[in-house]
Structure 1
Amino acid sequence: MSPIEASMNALRQSGDELADATVAELFERGESGTFNTLMRFVSTAGAPLPDGLPEVAKEYLRATEAPPSWVDWDEMEKARLFFIDNNVHISTALSFASMPACYLVPHVAKLLSTTHGLNYPSNRMAATGQFTVQLMQPDAFEAGSRFIPAAQKVRLLHASIRHHLVRENRWDVEAAGVPICQEDMIGGQMFFSMLVLDSLHRLGIHMSEEGAASYYYAWRVVGAMLGVDQEAVPKTLDEARDFLDRYMVRHMGPSPEGAHLTRQLIDLYEDIVPGTLFDPVVAALIRYLVGDTCADWLEVASTPWDTVVKAVPHLLGVLETIEDRSPLGGWALDRLGHLTTLFELSSLTRGRVMHYAVPENLREEYGVAGAAPRTRRWTPPAATVSP
């Protein structure tokens, strides 16, 4: 066994010490219900903690109320501008590449199917979309923002799932490692960052090296706030490519749960788009972005639209050229992308704010300061691991 593989195996045995200890004590003291009730009132950073909140919860919230001390705020601003410039494309990549990639990892698909709340793709996609939009707002890390409380709650949600699956003997830790282990959390971080960048490149989106690196950096910050071990996280895009390749080769494959979750995802987006004429586009986009082999594993049907979708990069390339050459055209396309993202998010949330809670049991407008200048064109690092 190589040292790299040994280190990845070790990551499978590790969870999130701080969040796991907090959740264990909440359940041991019978305080999880009180915590959930009161935490619905904690939705913005800097808000006073409600009376009656369990002491262990207060300690956790104080320990996680600020981003890491090492954050480079210039990089975070570049990431925000990158998101504004590419928001609709990033939403497409998250929906039709990142989420299906999660389903390509059988033990992750099984976990998502086991937890009742995450078994509904509308909730999962709405929460993911809302979380990303909150992250990319100019005041994401300031008093009054919704991002930090959301990150704190997501971290506890992951810990509570670990707690229940292990306590109820619903997870084979010896065979599959700790549920939502460090390797899987880093893998998820790669799906929402590196794989998004790969998908934008495949769609023909013009990206600078600086913008791509900053977007990846922002998700490193997110990972740190969600309890990911920063000593194990790839620091550069080249290192991220290597980790993502190794992770997928180690774990990806077909599963009934992955196919089922993918079918739910396709049905969800076909329902959002009015009429039925464009329904096959959803499956065609997934197949185009994840590739034929992975699409077959997820049982994504082939349609005549598969050929049509291959023309999308050429169309987007024309629009990107207009955006590069015309400040007014760039502003108009960014605004259209912003409105499209809001429409998709409002369709998924139906106007609701998505709340995160510690499950007591397991059952079946951001500001625009102008786009960052495009300099050197980004291309993905080459694959490092052969299947």
Structure 2
Amino acid sequence: MIPTEASMDALRHVGDELADATVATLFERGEVGRFNSLMRYVSTVGAPLPEGLPDVAREYLRATSAPPDWVDWAEMEKARLFFLDNNVHISTALSFASMPACYVVPHVAKLLSASHGLNYPSKRMAETGQFTVHLMRPDAFEAGSRFIPAAQKVRLLHASIRHHLRREGRLDAGVPGVPICQEDMIGGQMFFSMLVLDSLHRLGIHMSTEGAEAYYYAWRVVGAMLGVDQEAVPQNLQEARQFLDLYMVRYMGPSPEGARLTRQLIDLYEEVVPGTVLDPIVSALIRHLVGDTCANWLEVPRTRFDTVVRAVPHLLGVLETIEDRSPFGAWALDRLGHLTTVFELSSLTRGRVMHYAIPEELRQEYGVPSTPSRTRRWTPPAPTVNH
């Protein structure tokens, strides 16, 4: 389906009926605090639900306990192998392209500022990283997995934000419809799938068409589990390109919240980078991946590494050659990529499992009280909107 202004406008007025009804009932009955306390014990598939869990929550967890019946498991395995082969590159794209892309959409940046403490930016990044790692495990949908409970909690988190803003009548007057609507949820899905693939291409990573398609497919499954309307979501990479282009042209621009979140992100990763000499590489990577216009809107500083970072594709090309020609080299680089991802995630989480809870209030800032082939390289679909 080719997205249009009219179809996008319609998606702005639709939320997530099941999750919205569940959250509304929890608030009406005053059961949010009890729900949050007990849900800390719900972290793996197959574990018995704790005694005392509200009935409406128990029913929601039962209804959302399995992936969609249309999932192609062979395609999901291709996606997992694609992730394993590119895990460090995907982590880079998520950190330095996908997150800044969220911040360049002003109403999304405002929501993130309201629902995540700005003094703890690592929480958002840790949740995103851990969520992706859980998704790409071979047992992601089996007993003992942490992915499905995480998806169930994220879906309720989104619904709780909609609930707060509707109840207080604090919807953004400049953006009609409901917050975290279907258009925004699909837009987020594009940031973590299509935009990641764009970033890998920009970094010079060689991807097969099959690998790129499988990675996007995995995020379609994620979208379904997060309450995205499958009649509206792009079905393939070409449709994803059309949706992402139109979404960004409709909304992207500067905002105080976007610049502030970006500054927090840069500070966070400068702490992760050993020493201080290489700190500017963080800003340079963001600018390289999102482009000068978006980087300027986000007030990403220019650094002496802005030119140097353009050599990254050449360096990665050399590493890929080593990987292709040497089994030991392939093993060593894959192991290095895994260790790099683990180090980054452990630095953000400080060794803890991230828990998603329904906020009983939003921040004052919003105005609310209290194994792939390299012989056929994938090329992103051409832009569909003149920028």
TM range (shorter): over 0.9
Residue 120 of structure 1 deviates from its aligned partner by 3.0
Does the alignment pair 1:184 with 2:184? yes
Give 3-state SS (helix, strand or coil) of 2:68's partner: coil
1:268 equivalent in structure 2:
268
2:73 equivalent in structure 1:
73
* 2: CA distance, partners of 1:309 / 1:356: 35
Distance change in 2, residues 1:119/1:181 (3 Å): farther
Residue 118 of structure 1 deviates from its aligned partner by 6.9
Partner letter of residue 222 of structure 1?
V
* 1: CA distance, partners of 2:372 / 2:378: 14
Give 3-state SS (helix, strand or coil) of 2:86's partner: helix
Does the alignment pair 1:380 with 2:380? yes
CA-to-aligned-CA distance 1:90-140 (integer Å, 9 cap, x gap): 000000000000000000011111224477320000000000000000000
Partner letter of residue 334 of structure 1?
D
Q: What are the ranges of 5 or more consecutive residues in structure 1 without an aligned counterpart?
A: 365-370
Distance change in 2, residues 1:116/1:97 (3 Å): closer
* 2: CA distance, partners of 1:375 / 1:68: 33
| TM-score of the two chains, using structure 1 as the length reference | 0.96
Checking the alignment, whether the CA contact within 8 Å between 1:209 and 1:375 is kept in structure 2 is no
Does the alignment pair 1:42 with 2:59? no
Matches within 5 A, 1:339-354: 339-354=339-354
Partner letter of residue 256 of structure 1?
P
2:104 equivalent in structure 1:
104
Checking the alignment, whether the CA contact within 8 Å between 2:113 and 2:363 is kept in structure 1 is no
| TM-score of the two chains, using structure 2 as the length reference | 0.96
Of residues 63-72 and 312-321 in structure 1, the stretch that sits farther from structure 2 once superposed is: 312-321
Of residues 116-125 and 99-108 in structure 1, the stretch that sits farther from structure 2 once superposed is: 116-125
* 2: CA distance, partners of 1:43 / 1:114: 25
CA-to-aligned-CA distance 1:321-342 (integer Å, 9 cap, x gap): 2222323211211110000000
* 1: CA distance, partners of 2:3 / 2:253: 24
CA-to-aligned-CA distance 1:168-217 (integer Å, 9 cap, x gap): 22223683321101001000000000000000000011110000000000
Of residues 335-344 and 175-184 in structure 1, the stretch that sits farther from structure 2 once superposed is: 175-184
Does the alignment pair 1:252 with 2:258? no
Partner letter of residue 272 of structure 2?
I
1:19 equivalent in structure 2:
19
1:62 equivalent in structure 2:
62
Distance change in 2, residues 1:90/1:175 (3 Å): closer
Does the alignment pair 1:239 with 2:210? no
Partner letter of residue 383 of structure 2?
A
2:87 equivalent in structure 1:
87
* 2: CA distance, partners of 1:174 / 1:216: 31
Give 3-state SS (helix, strand or coil) of 1:175's partner: coil
Checking the alignment, whether the CA contact within 8 Å between 1:11 and 1:183 is kept in structure 2 is yes
Aligned residues: 380
Over the aligned positions, Cα root-mean-square deviation in angstroms equals 1.4
1:280 equivalent in structure 2:
280
1:10 equivalent in structure 2:
10
Structure 1 residue ranges (4+ consecutive) displaced by more than 6 angstroms after TM superposition: none
2:367 equivalent in structure 1:
none
Checking the alignment, whether the CA contact within 8 Å between 2:209 and 2:377 is kept in structure 1 is yes
2:309 equivalent in structure 1:
309
Checking the alignment, whether the CA contact within 8 Å between 1:207 and 1:374 is kept in structure 2 is yes
Partner letter of residue 114 of structure 1?
A
Checking the alignment, whether the CA contact within 8 Å between 1:173 and 1:179 is kept in structure 2 is no
Residue 273 of structure 1 deviates from its aligned partner by 1.3
Partner letter of residue 94 of structure 1?
L
* 2: CA distance, partners of 1:193 / 1:206: 16
Distance change in 2, residues 1:3/1:46 (3 Å): closer
Q: Percent of counterpart pairs with the same letter?
A: 82
CA-to-aligned-CA distance 1:300-335 (integer Å, 9 cap, x gap): 111111001011111001111222232321121111
Partner letter of residue 360 of structure 2?
E
Q: What are the ranges of 5 or more consecutive residues in structure 2 without an aligned counterpart?
A: 365-370
Partner letter of residue 227 of structure 2?
G
Checking the alignment, whether the CA contact within 8 Å between 2:207 and 2:372 is kept in structure 1 is no
* 1: CA distance, partners of 2:91 / 2:37: 31
* 2: CA distance, partners of 1:195 / 1:239: 13
* 2: CA distance, partners of 1:79 / 1:70: 16
